[in-house]
Amino acid sequence: MDRVPPERRSEIMSRIRGKNTKPELIVRRLLHRLGYRFRLHQKDLPGQPDVVLRKYKTAIFIHGCFWHGCEKCDRGIRIPKTNTEFWIKKIAENRGRDTDALVKIRNLGWQVIVLWACETADTTKLIATLMTAMPLAKGNHGR
């Protein structure tokens, strides 16, 4: 049973953004600074990747740790104490949808990078991850 009244729960949930989240903005700023140009939330690709680099045929998904069940941090492992069955099912469905989207986009010949919100906290590590996973942008070979 949810301890929060339905009206308040609705208000809380309505404030959760699916696009332009803080982790997304961090990744986008870093990519731009590294010399990459990209598109956002491309509806014509499976799973609507958060960042799309068409020139390099690379799609980047930036997953929220709670919503997608991150196994790297506490936020993804923790299950709410109320309405537990609902949340377990919800997160499992999200993960299933994620897997389907990744398979479909890879089958189209795209490189896929999945980043977790918890990975965006350490900018140095995030840059290293991006530089390892990304093809080199023109003129940025020495950075």
Tell me the pLDDT of the chain (143 aa) as tens digits.
Answer: 667 787 877 776 666 766 778 999 999 999 999 889 999 999 999 999 999 999 999 999 999 999 899 998 888 888 888 888 988 999 999 999 999 999 999 999 999 999 999 999 999 999 999 888 876 654 454 44
Report the pLDDT value the prediction gives residue 77, as an integer from 0 to 100. 85
Position 1 scores a pLDDT of 65
Contacts of 10 (CB under 8 A, 6+ apart): none
What pLDDT is recorded for position 136? 62
**According to the model, what pLDDT value does residue 14 have?**
67
Q: What sections of 1-143 are H helices per DSSP?
A: 6-14, 22-33, 65-68, 74-77, 84-107, 123-133
Which CATH number is associated with domain 17-38+55-132? 3.40.960.10
Count CB neighbours of 111 within 10 A: 15
